Amino acid sequence: MANSENEKPERISEAEHAVMEALWTRSPLTAAEVCDSVCVERDWSLATVKTLLSRLVAKNAIATKPDGRRFLYSPLIERADYTGAESRRLVDRLFGGRAAPLFAQLAESEALTEDDLAEMEALLKELRK
């Protein structure tokens, strides 16, 4: 399902990301089923969803498969692959490629809960083994 390992997923807009989340949750889906997942919350029409699906097909983020008179849509990239690439872009762009300043910023803005800190400590211990 994932693109080749050296190929980064193409940048996906915030709106396209909502469609991807619907497809990562359950797929394949029709355009109407994607709309059922996102249209009410975002005040979108079926036409908007179809436009976003077309963009995602053009970016090779999703695949289409004919199903009678409709199409079924499925992700071509794994959620973890995309979020990993986006996380790396964020750290590179805002923090010069270093993750420590990102965590410092989150801590200073009190965006980290005790549970977040405990999870990070456990992850660091695991990485050091």
One digit per residue, pLDDT tens: the chain, 129 residues? 444 444 555 788 999 999 999 999 999 999 999 999 999 999 999 999 999 999 999 999 999 999 999 999 999 999 988 888 888 888 888 888 888 888 788 878 877 888 888 888 888 888 787
Note whether residue 93 is domain-resident: yes
Domain identity same for 45 and 91: no
Neighbours of 106 (CB within 10 A): 14
Neighbours of 86 (CB within 10 A): 15
pLDDT at 75: 96
pLDDT at 93: 83
pLDDT at 6: 44
pLDDT at 95: 82
CB 77 within 8 A of CB 3: yes
Domain count, the chain: 2
Domain identity same for 44 and 89: no
- pTM of the complete model beyond 0.85: no
Domain carrying residue 64: 14-75
CB 45 within 8 A of CB 23: no
pLDDT at 28: 97
